[in-house]
Amino acid sequence: MIRVLIADDERLMRVGIRLVLENADDIEVVAEAGDGREAVEACRGQDIDVALLDIQMPGKDGIAAAEEIGQASPRTHVVMLTAFGEERSVNRALRAGATGFLLKDTGPTELIRSVRLAAEGEPVLAPRITRQLLDRHVRSGEGTEAALRRTADLTDAERNVLRLLGTGLSNAEIADQLYMSASTVKAHISRILTRTGCANRVQAAVLAHDAGMLTDR
């Protein structure tokens, strides 16, 4: 079972999400929280696979909570929820260690699918904000230089995997593109995360953009 935490200061939103997720046989909502502090405590006290965090909450917001959850419960995958796709919030959330970012009006089928993907460590980005994040990602010269340093020691195979990961492909799709097995791709991604200091695939995708790897065709 995928154990889920729902954190939102609106009780009706929590109830709605719970009702959707309870329709999935492999998902169990084991905790709810009304603010970021409660969310962090819930992740410390329980074995949570996926934390769905509202980005705007009183006191400790979802982004601050995501960062603390990453430290207190590294195995928990955090997906941010918001009613709008403001770019600065997207970047802050991903850099805080969130696995993904969903809009609150995401449909039931997509919500369930996203929780399953997040539990596997796959990136989850709402389609409406994916292009906003990747096509408009702001690169400073300093950020590009840092990204190039972090990717300098990657092997050619790892660079190819990272480049395709940066386009949003799944492990199976990367495997098809590079004529590798899915297990080999997974092993490459694990080494990429370790070598570059990225907490998850989404941070690695942003790093690929920062390093200008997606222009290498």
Q: What is the pLDDT of residue 131?
A: 52
More confident residue, 74 or 51: 51
Digit-coded pLDDT (tens) for 36-45: 999 999 998 7
Query: For residue 130, with 0-12 CB atoms within 10 Å meaning exposed, 13-18 middle and 19 or more buried, which class applies?
Result: middle
Which of 52-56, 103-107, 114-118, 161-165 comes out lowest in average pLDDT?
103-107
**Mean pLDDT value across residues 157-182:** 90
More confident residue, 209 or 33: 33
Domains and CATH numbers, the chain: 2-134 (3.40.50.2300), 141-215 (1.10.10.10)
Average pLDDT of the chain to the nearest whole number? 85
pLDDT at 208 over 70: yes
Highest mean pLDDT among 25-34, 36-45, 140-149, 208-217: 25-34
Q: What is the pLDDT of residue 180?
A: 93
Using CA of residue 176, residue 198, residue 51, residue 104, what is the dihedral sign?
A: negative
More confident residue, 155 or 216: 155
Using CA of residue 115, residue 67, residue 8, residue 169, what is the dihedral sign?
A: negative
Give 90-120 as a DSSP string: HHHHHHTT-SEEEETT--HHHHHHHHHHHHT
**Mean pLDDT value across residues 105-133:** 79
Q: Predicted confidence band at 141 (pLDDT cuts at 50, 70, 90)?
A: very low
> Residue type for 142, please?
E
Digit-coded pLDDT (tens) for 99-109: 888 888 888 99
